[in-house]
Structure 1
Amino acid sequence: MTERLSPTEQLTSPAPSTRSDRRAWLGLLVVLGPVLLVAMDNSILHLAMPRISESLSPSAGQALWILDVYGFVVGSLLITFGSVGDRYGRLRLMTVGAVVFGAASAGAALSSSPEALIAFRALMGIGGATLLPSGLAVISELFRDPRRRAQAIGIFAATFATGFAIGPVTGGLLLSVFPWGSVFLINLPVVVLFLVFAPTVLREVRGTRPGRVDVLSVVLSSAGLLLTVYTLKDAASHGLGWHQALTGLAGIALVWWFLRRQHRLEHPLVELGLFRERVFAFAIVTGLLSLLVWAAASYLTGIYLQSVLGLDVLTAALLAVPGALVLTVTCVVTPRFFERIGRRIALAAAHLFAGAGLALLLLAGTESGVGWFVASTMIAGIGYGISFSAVADVAVSAVPPERAGAAAAIAETSNELGNALGISLLGATAALVFRLSGPDVAGTLNETLAVPGLAEGAAESARAAFLSGMHVAVVIGSAVSFAVGLLILRLVPRAARVSQAAPASRRVR
């Protein structure tokens, strides 16, 4: 028999929905801390590397590994940990990951050799890979109402994007006061707060997805993605040689084997049937392409501001703040328009805004261009913000709650691959134009400007050649963005909705 409350008790007792909402928003706040750290650690070392080089004296190869190993590990393990969290408990996985991330951060800060720092950065990547897909899946559990969930996902996406954008600024501010180890020690208070409050505020979801994790699929996906991302980044730094070609082919072969295996498994790591839905497939393409153009633009404009216009590193980082603010606000407000404009328009708008923002960089010159850079980041930031929010929402709403971690991992993996492809493809294109049209003194602009006794005419020629390469990359990125945006308007139905994944019995075998 259900106990009834008296009228007085009904007035004085907090409504269950109010308590539930309060708990959900507190849970979101607890999840956002680690998400911010994981994003920041993708870019916070950009300004710290000179200090690290002075202290540890890494070789050129070791310096690249210090910068890149974190992203390599995160990108290669997202799919694995998304599926593990769905099956064995997301809160448990996030807790273990936070401990690993915090301990590795402390170890990185105290490293006394390049090898030790590389190892601890890899451990940080393992911890970070547990936090992103499980964090997004936990949010889908906390907010069952689709509208509230979309708002929460928008805030999640804004936090991740903001962390990536403010990483260099945060690093610069810390390094102006503290030693280089501070860029890692800043992680510890946030990790401690998460470990204290997460068990109280967050609910555990365990054992909701059937079947054991297929070990061979884990090995294939992790090794394949690791080799693929490594090849792309290494080719961007050193050019495409036989070594990069072999590792790239090996990575592609392992990924192909992984995808073939998913068709035959009753409980796969990746539900390939999701990609039969056009809105889901275009959402993943949007996540990849948005990070591709963002990474390329950030990389090239960073060199442009410092080596062409002659700005210092911190000033260049601060000029990116307006665009980061626009991106953050867009992530937060975008979910409010989903019901009104639909996912089709939202995904198309992400590409059109990004393409328009990129196109403004064509107006930047060798003597001036700060205003065009800021305007570009602000307009493109609208597109990036829509993308981060829309892609995350489509991913977690495409599947039942028990598979949200694996779906979120697909979206996050597309971001990581886009990040690697941006520098590898568009960055390499800009470098090729520089080598063809530059003064033929060195392979890059920075190396050319560092040549002792370089004539001013050669320096000006090098700056102009770099700008030409950046403009070619911008034209390609902008054209692809516009093309995909128009393709979405043409191919995605007006009333596009993501249906949940087909059951195992209906999968193609």
Structure 2
Amino acid sequence: MPTNSAPAKATRREWIGLAIIALPCLVYAMDLTVLNLALPAISAELDPSASQLLWIVDVYGFLVAGFLITMGTLGDRMGRRRLLLIGAAAFAAASVVAAFSRSAEMLIAMRALLGIAGATLAPSTMSLIRNMFHDEHERQFAIGVWIASFSVGGAIGPLVGGVLLQWFWWGAAFLAAVPVMVLLLVLGPKLLPEYRDPDAGRLDPVSMAQSLSAVLAAVYGLKRIAEYGADARGIVMLLAGVGLGVLFVRRQRHLAYPFLDVTLFQRPAFTAAIVAYALAGLSMMGVYIFMTQYLQLVLGLTPLQAGIATIPWSLSFTVGSLLAPRWARRWGARQVMVRGLLIAAAGFGITAAVMPPHGLWILIAGMLAMSIGMAPVFTVGNELIITTAPPERAGAASALSETSAELSGALGIAVLGSAGMLLFRLWLAPALPTGMDTVDSTRALSTLGGAMTVAGELGGPAGVLVADAARTSFTHAMRAIALFGAAMMLLASWMAARLMRDGEGAGHAVQVADEATGA
């Protein structure tokens, strides 16, 4: 029976539970970056081939992306807390075995298991927040903490890896996750509620295979295109992923209990949030890969100095994620989304204005505006996604949100990265010295790093000319990609303004859902 009573406020148990589920999310994100500094030590001890080394790095992210939809749907069926605890136990066990791997093949296998276990964390924790926090503003703040944990984890990954490698062997980078997962296993059953869909049907193996294959093929194809350009294998894999994705979506329309509820896209707020989330991820990753190279190869910063220069990005994103609920309370979800996207567009625009001699400070200003603007998109957008969906499908909805972020990020690196390097070559080619050796010119046009190496080998006026032309061409390419990102943010803000209505937000969706279920 409908009731107008206010949603129950969270107690100390829910807030402590939030801290418990934020920690594994931090570890999940940290594991994406913590290994980077350990690669030289791993190479020296395990002697992997070039292909094996690539798989050691990439297989974790591949399988996380591939299994997100499956794990989100599985959590709705078997219980979100139960799946989270199973995933935590598997993550801890695989981390221990990975730390003591004796071959490249063994380490690749453990990284694959870590990816599968890691795929349980994001959809399970996000959907548990949906059940733990019924007050709209408390839930927005909780999701802000959840989003911030991923940002902090990704930012501190290299730092944690560096500290551990300073005092221990490379396997210690994996062991850092074990205490966190053990803490989750001990306290999770006491602090976290269980929730499953009581009317869930049988798990559809065909849908599971289609979703997994589609995402894996698409991510692999995008990553290969980003690394090798318009590579035939990459294009074939990308097209195969798209084709399998189409088959997967068509199958869902005819299932009584689908993996992906396509009717969710009939809800304007859900569509606006997913599209804004995806466009933000695409634009952010597309420009970020240029920023890191700009800091080191154009401005000449050391890796440590470049890392310090990106700290404002992470800090402002974290602060923005935590402040987004207050902004939503004041202006409403629609206005926060629209204004956040406009601020992000301004940040991309500032980045597009980078030029000497103040390039570093202009870039930092652009980073601050981008991250402050995109933080509400991720926080408020995720809340809209999981609360616009029915409560029993919150796990699948959160998995769809994370999958869109993974795919858009990979798409940003592949497509925008390739487009930016094409522009780099178009600007650099006419500026190279006449009569330059063909081999050297090919190396110079391949990457900014290649151009700087060639410049160093040439020396003299010719070397200076190549270096200056390469830095200028790369800066122009980064500015062009930043302008594209600004356009994407403007498009997303227009869609949010059109598809969302004032007063339409997660709180309304939750109230309707709770009344329908008698909660």
TM-score (norm 2): 0.88
* Deviation, structure 1 residue 366: 6.1
Partner residue, 1:344: 334
* Deviation, structure 1 residue 491: 4.2
Mean Cα deviation higher: 362-371 or 98-107: 362-371
Q: Indicate whether 1:102 and 2:92 are aligned.
A: yes
* Deviation, structure 1 residue 323: 1.9
* Deviation, structure 1 residue 209: 4.3
* Deviation, structure 1 residue 364: 2.6
Q: Indicate whether 1:56 and 2:46 are aligned.
A: yes
Q: Indicate whether 1:268 and 2:271 are aligned.
A: no
Superimposed CA distance per residue, residues 463-487 of structure 1 (whole angstroms, 9 cap, x where no aligned partner): 2222222111111111221222133
Residue in structure 1 matching 2:191, options 191, 201, 210? 201
Is the Cα–Cα contact under 8 Å of residues 172 and 314 in structure 1 kept in the other structure? no
Is the Cα–Cα contact under 8 Å of residues 168 and 317 in structure 1 kept in the other structure? no
What amino acid sits opposite 1:449 in the alignment?
M
Residue in structure 2 matching 1:444, options 444, 447, 454? 447
Residue in structure 1 matching 2:481, options 473, 479, 489? 473
- Structure-2 separation of matches of 1:147 and 1:306: 41
Percent sequence identity is 40
Change (3 A) 1:180 1:370: farther
* Deviation, structure 1 residue 500: 5.8
Q: Indicate whether 1:78 and 2:68 are aligned.
A: yes
Is the Cα–Cα contact under 8 Å of residues 129 and 143 in structure 2 kept in the other structure? yes
Change (3 A) 1:200 1:493: closer
Partner residue, 2:457: 453
- Structure-2 separation of matches of 1:165 and 1:50: 20
What amino acid sits opposite 1:324 in the alignment?
S
5+ long unaligned stretches in structure 2: 1-7, 433-440, 514-519
- Structure-2 separation of matches of 1:345 and 1:43: 34
Mean Cα deviation higher: 158-167 or 223-232: 158-167
- Give 3-state SS (helix, strand or coil) of 1:261's partner: helix
Partner residue, 2:203: 213
Change (3 A) 1:229 1:181: same
Superimposed CA distance per residue, residues 261-290 of structure 1 (whole angstroms, 9 cap, x where no aligned partner): 111111111111111111110100111111
TM-score (norm 1): 0.90
Partner residue, 1:4: none
- Say what the alpha-carbon RMSD is for the aligned residues: 2.2
For this pair of structures, how many residues does the alignment match?
486
Partner residue, 1:392: 382
- Structure-2 separation of matches of 1:414 and 1:171: 28
Q: Indicate whether 1:147 and 2:168 are aligned.
A: no
Mean Cα deviation higher: 203-212 or 407-416: 203-212
1:243-322 pair list within 5 angstroms: 243-322=233-312
Q: Indicate whether 1:192 and 2:182 are aligned.
A: yes
Superimposed CA distance per residue, residues 290-335 of structure 1 (whole angstroms, 9 cap, x where no aligned partner): 1112212221111111122222222211221122111111111211
What amino acid sits opposite 1:488 in the alignment?
A
Is the Cα–Cα contact under 8 Å of residues 305 and 311 in structure 1 kept in the other structure? yes
Q: Indicate whether 1:21 and 2:21 are aligned.
A: no
What amino acid sits opposite 2:452 in the alignment?
L
Partner residue, 1:87: 77
- Give 3-state SS (helix, strand or coil) of 1:467's partner: helix
What amino acid sits opposite 1:493 in the alignment?
R
* Deviation, structure 1 residue 26: 1.2
What amino acid sits opposite 1:298 in the alignment?
Y
Partner residue, 2:55: 65
* Deviation, structure 1 residue 434: 1.9
Superimposed CA distance per residue, residues 209-267 of structure 1 (whole angstroms, 9 cap, x where no aligned partner): 42112111111011101101111111001112221121111111110000001111111
- Give 3-state SS (helix, strand or coil) of 2:222's partner: helix
Partner residue, 1:376: 366
Change (3 A) 1:258 1:207: same
Partner residue, 2:107: 117
* Deviation, structure 1 residue 207: 4.7
* Deviation, structure 1 residue 390: 1.1
5+ long unaligned stretches in structure 1: 1-16, 504-509
- Structure-2 separation of matches of 1:144 and 1:208: 20
What amino acid sits opposite 2:147 in the alignment?
A
* Deviation, structure 1 residue 56: 3.4
Is the Cα–Cα contact under 8 Å of residues 220 and 257 in structure 1 kept in the other structure? yes
Partner residue, 2:490: 482
Partner residue, 2:37: 47
Superimposed CA distance per residue, residues 73-132 of structure 1 (whole angstroms, 9 cap, x where no aligned partner): 111111110010011011111111111111222222223333322222111110110011
What amino acid sits opposite 1:463 in the alignment?
R
Is the Cα–Cα contact under 8 Å of residues 423 and 477 in structure 2 kept in the other structure? yes
